[in-house]
Amino acid sequence: VIKHKAEVVICGAGIVGLTLARQLISQGASDIVLLEKERELGQHASGRNSGVLHAGIYYPADSLKAKLCLRGNILLKAYCKANGLPVLEFGKVVVAKNEGEREGLREICARAVANGATAQIIDEQRLAELEPYARTCSEAVYVHNTAVVDPQTILTKLSSDLIQSGKAQILTGVAFNGIKGSRTVQTTHGPIEFETFINAAGAYSDRVAHACGAAREYRLIPFKGTYKKLRPDRAFMVRGNIYPVPDLRNPFLGVHFTRTAHGEVSIGPTAIPAFGREHYHLFDGLGPESLRILYQDMALFFSNVKFRTVATSEPWKYVPRYFFEEAKALLKDLRQDDIEACEKVGIRPQLVDWEKKELVMDFLVLKDQERLHILNAISPAFTSSMAFAEYVVNEHLS
């Protein structure tokens, strides 16, 4: 039965919408409706990510990402443990491909420590104890706090907690269609009146904000992340997470190895421009908007260095030989036939300030009277989600 009145309506039941509902209930809310256009949860970023609980080591100290990531990591780990959900706590190593990257390692270690993570520079001998097959140039960074979880089991548990509380209803297969007046949301199943509306629509959050008359200067550009995996009989080569030194000016971390909660070792993800917000496969997810996205990509290509760097470097990873060389730089004894195809694919929507033609590097929360828009919930928003929900409710809704 669909209610037509609620205290809070949340558009989107990804990790951001679910954890916000949970936080609101813990602070007294008792009448929340979540709208989810898909019939099942986890069809988009929250169910298609790497499952890494990051430690917040890359971000400038004054960013929301830096402030919320480690606390989110701690809260989500505790939630998984309390509920018997899988958590792999093996930490992560960041390795250098050459002498030139050693400075980058030191910078990452300094940022990690400044952001509260437990991280240290280690030598090759210690690296060999932690990750016997990892390759580096003299030194590496070891980050203790990084862990791996199973995102889908977390979404399932969070949604069942909400339903059991009797204080939230998750309407799957029901989409936001617009706003009428100041306090009514139009859905595919009729109108719902609200006191507060929260836009947590992930890849569509700019469109939902525009429909509410907000955030006109922002647009989301989708990037596709594809993965490969290690052949099961070679998966022993990676115990936890092995990452390269990233280019900190860009939003993506480079091809890396992650042991998943199910024991597979995934390699990736890539980050190439996609031509649809849900363009997961060759023609699947393309539509009338694709031409506009292509035009936006081209406009950014010529006006933004970060975008140009990503757009020119990432597609090379589709060339198997190139992908292999990138992966081999992190792992000794890796052979090309150790790498297998992997079905997993995700889309990372990246927010662009279209007036400045700049990629937005941090989470963004915009409040417009009784409507709140969560824009740019990019990585590490899965990790940060519970801390982000605390922040949003305390700073913007109390």
Ligand X SMILES: Cc1cc2nc3c(=O)[nH]c(=O)nc-3n(C[C@H](O)[C@H](O)[C@H](O)COP(=O)(O)OP(=O)(O)OC[C@H]3O[C@@H](n4cnc5c(N)ncnc54)[C@H](O)[C@@H]3O)c2cc1C
Give me the residues that bind ligand X (CB under 6 A), please: 11-17, 35-38, 43-46, 48-52, 54, 175-176, 200-204, 208, 225, 269, 346-348, 377-383
Beta carbon nearer to ligand X, 121 or 366: 366
Q: How far is the CB of 389 from ligand X (least distance, A)?
A: 11
Nearer to ligand X, 136 or 146 (CB): 146
Nearer to ligand X by Cβ, of 201 and 392: the residue is 201
Rounded Cα–Cα distance for residues 42 and 13 (Å): 8
Residue 180: burial class (beta carbons within 10 Å; 0-12, 13-18, 19+): exposed
At closest approach, how far in Å is the CB of 67 from ligand X? 15
Whose Cβ is closer to ligand X: residue 139's or residue 224's? 224
CB of 142 to ligand X, least distance (A): 18
Is the peptide bond prior to 380 cis by the omega test (within 30 degrees of 0)? Answer: yes
CB of 335 to ligand X, least distance (A): 25
C-alpha span between 297 and 279 (Å, rounded): 15
Q: Which residue in the shown chain puts its C-beta closest to ligand X? A: 14
DSSP collapsed to 3 states, 179-205:
EECCCEEEECCEEEEEEEEEECCHHHH
Q: Decide whether 275 or 382 has the Cβ nearer to ligand X.
A: 382
Tokens 């470097």: give the residue. 313
Least distance in angstroms from the C-beta of 178 to ligand X: 9
CB 69, min distance to ligand X, A: 8
* Residue number with CB closer to ligand X (91 or 346): 346
Residue with tokens 């929340």: 32
Q: What is the DSSP string of 43-105?
A: SSGGGSS--EE----SS-TTSHHHHHHHHHHHHHHHHHHHTT--EE---EEEE-SSGGGHHHH
Tokens of 53: 């609980």
CB-CB neighbours of 127 under 10 Å: 21
Find the shortest distance in angstroms from Cβ 103 to ligand X: 26
Q: Report the alpha-carbon distance of residue 171 to residue 148 in Å, rounded.
A: 29
What the block records as the tokens of 283 is: 């023609």
**Least distance (Å) between residue 381 CB and ligand X:** 3
176 or 391: CB nearest ligand X: 176
The residue (of 299 and 360) whose beta carbon lies closer to ligand X is 360
CA distance 148 to 318: 26
Q: Which two tokens stand for residue 295?
A: 């035009």
Cβ closer to ligand X: 324 or 382? 382
Say how many CA atoms lie within 13 Å of 177 toward its Cβ: 10
Bridge partners of 243, per DSSP, are 94
Least distance CB 123 / ligand X (angstroms): 27
* Nearest CB to ligand X, comparing residues 23 and 46: 46
Longest Cα separation, the chain: 65
| Cα-based distances in Å from 167 to 53, 160, 180, 349 | 28, 12, 25, 30
Q: Are strands 190-199 and 371-375 parallel, antiparallel or unpaired?
A: parallel
Shortest CB 185 distance to ligand X, Å: 10
